[in-house]
Chains A and B, each alone.
Chain A
Amino acid sequence: MTNGNGATPEAAPPPQLNVLAQYIKDLSFENPNAPQSLAPQGQPPQINIQINVGANALAETEYEVTLTIEGKAESGSQVMFSFELVYGGVFRLVNVPQEHLSPMLLIECPRLLFPFAREIVANSVRDGGFPPLMLDPVDFVSLYRQNMERQAAAQGVQGRPS
């Protein structure tokens, strides 16, 4: 762990991040039109991927972070394959200041989970009879920002102006 913004010498003990567990929470792979769809296609299929992250507290310092990856490949109107993966991890965060907690959980932790989830996706798609699907790296920082904005907007709808 690096602490980028020059902590003062007598600052609190350094933050710690431990991975306690990693697991598939939910996995669905569908290959509805096989084997016809496995034949070589004229043009490359349209692939749509959606990624989201979520976190909830399990105990004072322990959190479950989930990384959800959904994808669907379509050729014309025909679905080639569709997968949905919820990949979870349990993290222990100690000495993390309150204001860093949510970026830590929603940026740093998914970043650690991503390579594993990526492999599961690639393997599943390959085992489905297609060339393995290699997901591009994900910018979790901008995903985090989007989520924050959406939350703020949602609160704006519900709440009273303060």
Chain B
Amino acid sequence: MIGALARKLFGSSNDRRVKGYQSRVNAINALEPELAKLTDEQLKARTTEFKQQLADGKTLDDLLVPAFATVREASKRTLGQRHFDVQLIGGMVLHEGDIAEMKTGEGKTLVATLAVYLNALAGKGVHVVTVNDYLARRDAGWMSQIYGFLGLTTGVIVHGLDDAERKAAYACDITYGTNNEYGFDYLRDNMKYRLEEMVQRGHFFAIVDEVDSILIDEARTPLIISGPLDDRSDFYNTIDTFVPKLDKTDYEVDEKQRTVTLTEAGMEKIETLLRDAGQLKGESLYDVENVSVVHHINQALRAHTLFTRDKDYIVRDGEVVIIDEFTGRMMPGRRYSEGLHQALEAKEHQPVQPENQTLASITFQNYFRMYEKLAGMTGTAATEADELFDIYKLEVVEIPTNLPVARLDEDDEVYRTQQEKYAAILAEIERANSRLQPVLVGTASIEKSEVLAAYLKQHGYKQIDFGSERALDKLYAAARAGKPAKLFAVLNARFHEQEAYIVAEAGVPGAITIATNMAGRGTDIKLGGSLEMRIQQETAGITDEAEKAAKIEQIKADIARFREIVLKAEETVEIEPAKGSKPAKTVTKPGGLYIIGSERHESRRIDNQLRGRSGRQGDPGRSKFFLSLEDDLMRIFGSDRLDSMLTRLGLKEGEAIIHPWINKALEKAQQKVEARNFDIRKNLLKFDNVQNDQRKVIFDQRVELMQDESVVETITDMRHAFIDDLVSKHVPEHAYAEQWDVAGLKDELKRVLDLDLPVDAWAKEEGIADEELLKRIETHADERMAAKVAQWGPDVMRYVEKTILLQTLDHLWREHLIMLDHLRQVIGLRGYGQRDPLQEYKSEAFTLFEAMIAHLREAVTAQLMRVEIVPPEEQQQTLPPMQAHHADPNTGEDEMAFANVSLVPSSGAAPVPAEARNPKDPTTWGKVGRNEDCPCGSGKKYKHCHGRYA
């Protein structure tokens, strides 16, 4: 109570913070008339002035006011858009490294320009992070007009660029790209062998668009780069032949836990079988040498006993395709890990695909925390403010809207069954459609959107086929005629470019759009439709300028008329009179875009996002959620009794309950789920932090090694440290000479250093101490190395040392990563022993790390001591074949795998779109017409250039 009162009196902390910016906003406004008088050249020259001032010791904060004023003026001249005062505040929040929460349609893209420009002046590169390639390209193309005008360069990182192009883009003052691309480039960079090959140039400042989706939703799964392991397919096939020879009594299957273990008898049987076949090394199956045999047997056993064909997987075109256990859908391209998929392939006698191994991985949390300064913007972050602060130290500042929101958020309607809910949604769509109010129906998943689409189809609605170019013509025609078209569109975050168009047109009168929550983010829904989209779409083929202008005018008139219709699509509802009161009253509910939610999401943020699609920039709008007791959230958090109770209380079929209390209860449930998910993420992050600290050390070390002209010092230190270890192990301090393990020392020296030294003779010398021994061995080893340098020249030797060091480091690091993964899977068991698994993991991981470093010393020293250089030719190290993975946390599908699929029918002679052609690589051109301009950019026809017959 007191808190609420205080808030009323003094304003919330957010209000106070926003107020604090006002003086600078006023200062910027005061500069406006002065700047308006400058010529374009003078305005551009301000960039150089600012840079000079920075060099003279001013800070970025000092330049904020004049720089923001300059960007605003440049934006007015290039885009014809002037930053509102609230947008200036947003820019300041971004500059301070916090999150600006701005409602949809408030122009986040434009807000970013302010902070981007200011920080780009420092010349260290500013990264703008978007959720998909389409938005990166769109925003960069749009905003580079401002930056270019002010003399700054802009680059875009999208899927499919080569290293040279990436490097050029990162070298720009400002770089746009997706979170995945930035993360993968970081990982790939740290797998390269030369500094010049690295594409990124540090992590100075990043502005993350849709920050909640990237830093929270996407951050649930890590980025992984994997490469094929050595081909073991034969081994899988060999092992597979043994398993059918086992009886039911030889193993125990636990259906519930989905595990299978060999019994004592089974072990003996398989041991005998393997020994007869000569597959067993040593005595027992469980000897250390046979670890991988055991692994293969376990997987083969699982494949045979726990997985059933056509239930868990199907075999199609020589491939084993997983069936999702929840949805029953095939998941092409997804594979079981740890060799299980290979075992299944062997079981089905299909070709066994090589295994993949993680070469590098990072979570988004850890990637983005590398930036010196991080900022973000989104429409919905307030509910997740705790998490963002906890993990990223980002505060959320709510920026007031330029115009007040005029959207009516109605109370939820709760039905008993899903069927009733869908019927109610259909009825609501029908009503809205009849008065031509555009409707956006939000669903929680792709499956649900398909269910709803099928339901609409059953009831006489037609799905718009976006295969044809003029897909929306019918909708426009119906809107002009003032009749509902009964057409609907479905989007599910797959084809971003096309979906941007569909979403942009979701505000056309009578439009019905079914969308999952993520679909088409970043694109505004303008009432009446989007002018830019329609001009782009409809005037594409028109070359005649006059005709084009006429068409544009026509579209403008069309949209203005449509907007009128949509605004007027209000609904007048009669309220049932309470008993004994006056006759029925009527209430008018606003027109504009009508958002219908078909389900509450686990997180309130996602619901708010859906609501926020309507009511942009003061436009009217409506939103309402339709729920049922069978929804996931209700099922989990409402009790079974709820249903029977409601029935007893007289909830009839087709009737809904509407009460603010229900909304509250739901919100509570959502909060609980949010908190739980946050805990899971936090826990994951704690484990990843351990790996991250080690990764940082290794990656920093690599960069240092690559920077160094010569690594001879490092190498020498390593050699000495190794010898030191060796001697102290075999010749303990303060031990008598009789206790020395001289023979062991001699063997080790021979094995690792390839040095045959008379250690035994030295040990017999009177009064020799361990230091003396150590010194002698070191001298001999150093002499050996010096001899090698003299033999091949220092340059060659430096090169060899560096190469061996880097390669060995990488190799051991990868093995270490696998070890850590395995460790993480079993460390939970320590909990049974009353120990904190995280602490245990930390200490075990540290031990492993130290062991790895020791191993590195030994391996590098050993290799260098016996290195023989054949011809000193320049060897180009090539990176191993790599694949990038990032599973979509919502659908579980691999986003990067999807990005590889082209939309063109895959016939051999398919034409390739011009932008997909790499001018330097004719293999990417696909079919080129003989009369076409040659894609190499020579300006000649193809038939006179690359396509010329000899």
Q: Are A30 and B943 interface neighbours, CB within 8 A?
A: yes
B residues less than 8 Å from A26 (CB atoms): 929, 931
Q: A50-B909, A154-B905, A158-B903 are in contact. Are A82 and B330 (CB under 8 A)?
A: no
Q: Are A82 and B470 interface neighbours, CB within 8 A?
A: no
Partner of A82, one of B903, B909, B930: B930
A residues less than 8 Å from B473 (CB atoms): 60
A residues less than 8 Å from B948 (CB atoms): 32
Q: Are B943 and A150 interface neighbours, CB within 8 A?
A: no
Chain B 454-487, CB-CB to A under 8 Å as 1, else 0, gives 0000000000000011100100000000000000
A34 to chain B, nearest CB (A): 11
Q: A57-B469, A150-B906, A158-B901 are in contact. List 17 more A-B contacts (CB 8 A).
A: A26-B929, A28-B929, A28-B931, A30-B930, A30-B949, A32-B949, A33-B949, A50-B909, A82-B949, A84-B930, A86-B929, A150-B907, A154-B905, A154-B907, A157-B901, A160-B329, A160-B446
B residues less than 8 Å from A160 (CB atoms): 329, 446
Which residue in chain B gives the minimum CB-CB distance to A57?
B468
| Interface of chain A residues 101 through 156 with chain B (CB within 8 A) | 150-151, 153-154
Which residue in chain B gives the minimum CB-CB distance to A74?
B949
Chain B 931-946, CB-CB to A under 8 Å as 1, else 0, gives 1000000000001000
17 inter-chain pairs at a CB distance below 8 angstroms, sorted by A residue, are: A28-B929, A28-B943, A30-B930, A30-B943, A33-B949, A50-B909, A52-B909, A82-B930, A82-B949, A84-B929, A86-B929, A154-B904, A154-B905, A154-B906, A157-B901, A160-B329, A161-B330
B539 to chain A, nearest CB (A): 15
Does A56 count as interface, using CB distance less than 8 angstroms?
Answer: yes
Q: How far is the CA of A150 from the CA of B909 in the complex (A)?
A: 12
| Interface of chain A residues 61 through 81 with chain B (CB within 8 A) | 79
Q: How far is the CA of A150 from the CA of B905 in the complex (A)?
A: 7
Q: How far is the CA of A32 from the CA of B949 in the complex (A)?
A: 7
Closest 3 A/B residue pairs (Cβ): A28-B930, A154-B905, A32-B949
Q: How far is the CA of A161 from the CA of B446 in the complex (A)?
A: 13
Q: Are A161 and B329 interface neighbours, CB within 8 A?
A: yes
**Max chain B Cβ within 10 angstroms of own Cβ: one of A33, A82, A151, A158:** A158
User: Total A-B residue pairs with C-beta atoms closer than 8 Å?
Assistant: 46
**Max chain A Cβ within 10 angstroms of own Cβ: one of B905, B906, B943:** B905
A residues less than 8 Å from B903 (CB atoms): 158
Which residue in chain B gives the minimum CB-CB distance to A68?
B929
Which residue in chain A gives the minimum CB-CB distance to B328?
A161
B residues less than 8 Å from A57 (CB atoms): 468-470
Q: How far is the CA of A153 from the CA of B930 in the complex (A)?
A: 28
| Interface of chain A residues 22 through 75 with chain B (CB within 8 A) | 26-28, 30, 32-33, 50, 52, 56-57, 60
B910 to chain A, nearest CB (A): 9
Q: Are A56 and B930 interface neighbours, CB within 8 A?
A: no
Interface size in chain B (residues, C-beta < 8 A): 22
B950 to chain A, nearest CB (A): 8
Q: Which A residues form the contact surface with B (CB < 8 A)?
A: 26-28, 30, 32-33, 50, 52, 56-57, 60, 79, 82, 84, 86, 150-151, 153-154, 157-158, 160-162
A72 to chain B, nearest CB (A): 9
B807 to chain A, nearest CB (A): 38
Chain B 248-271, CB-CB to A under 8 Å as 1, else 0, gives 000000000000000000000000
B294 to chain A, nearest CB (A): 37
A residues less than 8 Å from B943 (CB atoms): 28, 30
Q: Are A79 and B931 interface neighbours, CB within 8 A?
A: no
Q: How far is the CA of A151 from the CA of B905 in the complex (A)?
A: 6
B490 to chain A, nearest CB (A): 12
Q: Which B residues form the contact surface with A (CB < 8 A)?
A: 329-330, 446, 450, 468-470, 473, 901, 903-907, 909, 929-931, 943, 948-950
B247 to chain A, nearest CB (A): 38
Q: How far is the CA of A82 from the CA of B469 in the complex (A)?
A: 33
Q: How far is the CA of A160 from the CA of B323 in the complex (A)?
A: 12
A96 to chain B, nearest CB (A): 15
Which residue in chain B gives the minimum CB-CB distance to A27?
B931
Q: How far is the CA of A14 from the CA of B468 in the complex (A)?
A: 25
Q: Are A79 and B329 interface neighbours, CB within 8 A?
A: no
Partner of B469, one of A27, A52, A56, A86: A56
Q: Are A84 and B931 interface neighbours, CB within 8 A?
A: yes
Which residue in chain A gives the minimum CB-CB distance to B321?
A161
Which residue in chain A gives the minimum CB-CB distance to B907?
A150
B332 to chain A, nearest CB (A): 8
B311 to chain A, nearest CB (A): 16
A58 to chain B, nearest CB (A): 9
A residues less than 8 Å from B906 (CB atoms): 150, 153-154, 157
B residues less than 8 Å from A52 (CB atoms): 909
Q: How far is the CA of A162 from the CA of B904 in the complex (A)?
A: 20
Which residue in chain B gives the minimum CB-CB distance to A86?
B929
Which residue in chain B gives the minimum CB-CB distance to A26?
B931
A residues less than 8 Å from B929 (CB atoms): 26, 28, 84, 86
Q: How far is the CA of A63 from the CA of B907 in the complex (A)?
A: 24
Which residue in chain A gives the minimum CB-CB distance to B898?
A158
Which residue in chain B gives the minimum CB-CB distance to A31?
B949
Q: How far is the CA of A90 from the CA of B929 in the complex (A)?
A: 22
Q: How far is the CA of A157 from the CA of B902 in the complex (A)?
A: 10
Which residue in chain B gives the minimum CB-CB distance to A52?
B909
A74 to chain B, nearest CB (A): 9
Q: Are B905 and A79 interface neighbours, CB within 8 A?
A: no
A residues less than 8 Å from B329 (CB atoms): 160-161
B residues less than 8 Å from A86 (CB atoms): 929
Q: How far is the CA of A26 from the CA of B943 in the complex (A)?
A: 13
Which residue in chain B gives the minimum CB-CB distance to A83?
B930
B residues less than 8 Å from A30 (CB atoms): 930, 943, 949
B328 to chain A, nearest CB (A): 10
Q: How far is the CA of A129 from the CA of B338 in the complex (A)?
A: 66
Which residue in chain B gives the minimum CB-CB distance to A151?
B905
A93 to chain B, nearest CB (A): 14
Q: How far is the CA of A98 from the CA of B901 in the complex (A)?
A: 30
Which residue in chain A gives the minimum CB-CB distance to B941?
A28
B residues less than 8 Å from A56 (CB atoms): 469
Which residue in chain B gives the minimum CB-CB distance to A56?
B469
A residues less than 8 Å from B468 (CB atoms): 57
B residues less than 8 Å from A162 (CB atoms): 450
B738 to chain A, nearest CB (A): 75
B residues less than 8 Å from A153 (CB atoms): 906
A105 to chain B, nearest CB (A): 12
Which residue in chain A gives the minimum CB-CB distance to B904?
A154
B576 to chain A, nearest CB (A): 44
Which residue in chain A gives the minimum CB-CB distance to B330?
A161
Which residue in chain A gives the minimum CB-CB distance to B477?
A60
